[in-house]
Amino acid sequence: MNSTVGFWGEPTSTDWCEKNYEVSYYIAEFFNTLSSFCLICVGIFGSIMHSKGFGYRFSLGFITITFIGFGSIIFHGTLIYPFEHFDGIPMIFYLLILFYSVNENKKERKFGNWFPIVLFLWGLIFSILLIGEKGIVALMIRGTIIFLIGYIGWNVDYHLCSQMNNILNPQLHAWWHVSASYSCYSLLIIVIFDRLKILGKNPKIKWMYIILSYVELSDESEQYLP
């Protein structure tokens, strides 16, 4: 909520509900900044407590949580748009680490050595895309989170079927269809946006009822594309 201009000037990023510079002239959102230290604390604690015998993936996961915390402090402390990516990009890699860990959960690798490399490159490419457009940040994070929630539900439905039928079955596989639909749609929207950017167009991410996104072109850019 933009109420007072402080040390960092007018906000250029997403402006949250907390009143700006209400507590400190040097910190845009004091309580959002202060609470971000929780991410650093749990990240460091998790890294220390799981440093031996748990695997590098989990150490990396806790370190990434710490980076999210530092990024969140910088972002909420300044409300400057480029800094908005300082917590958004680590979130993407954190979700990819979780995705890798859920899929590669046995002693022998299911997908081979290429899998973490592909995930890293995927995260790197989309991180580059995020830097150029605010709407892509929200779409990417939302689509990834919904996909992971759906995938976890898919695994629970598959591996714990008998237990699920002993209670009121929440139909997790059906919810997987919903989450996969949203994620597939979001991924194609991101690819469309990226191609139009490369072609020198002026695409924008728009939202319909805060649920579904779509790409909008300026009038002068609307023409047939092969």
Instruction: Tell me, yes or no, whether 59 and 140 share the same domain.
Output: no
Together in a domain, 68 and 105: yes
Of 99, 132, 165, the residue that ends a domain is 132
Same domain, 90 and 139: no
> Of 169, 168, 174, nearest to 154 (Cα)?
174
**CB 69 within 8 Å of CB 50:** no
Whether residues 31 and 48 share a domain: the answer is yes
Domain that holds residue 113: 1-132
Domain count, the chain: 2
Strands 212-216 and 204-208: antiparallel
Global confidence as pTM? 0.59
Same domain, 94 and 142: no
What is the maximal distance between C-alpha atoms in the chain?
Answer: 59
Residues 20 and 126 occupy one common structural domain: yes
Query: Strand, helix or coil at 155?
Result: helix
Q: Map residue 98 onto helix, strand or coil.
A: helix
Question: Binding site residues for Ca(2+), as ranges?
Answer: 15-16, 18, 20, 29
Q: Which residues are annotated as a binding site?
A: 15-16, 18, 20, 29, 76, 173, 177
Q: Are residues 81 and 146 in the same domain?
A: no
Residues 88 and 160 in one domain: no
Sign of CA dihedral 146, 136, 127, 111: positive
Domain match, 126 and 153 both: no
Cα 120 to Cα 99: distance, rounded to the nearest angstrom: 12
**What pLDDT score does 22 carry?**
86
Question: What pLDDT does 193 receive?
Answer: 78
Statement to judge: residues 182 and 111 lie in one domain: no
Torsion sign across C-alpha atoms 49, 38, 136, 195: negative
3-state secondary structure of 110: coil
Average pLDDT, consecutive stretches of 10 residues, N- to C-terminus, the chain (226 residues): 75 77 89 91 88 79 90 89 80 83 73 78 73 64 74 72 66 75 78 74 77 73 54
Known binding site for Zn(2+): residues?
A: 76, 173, 177
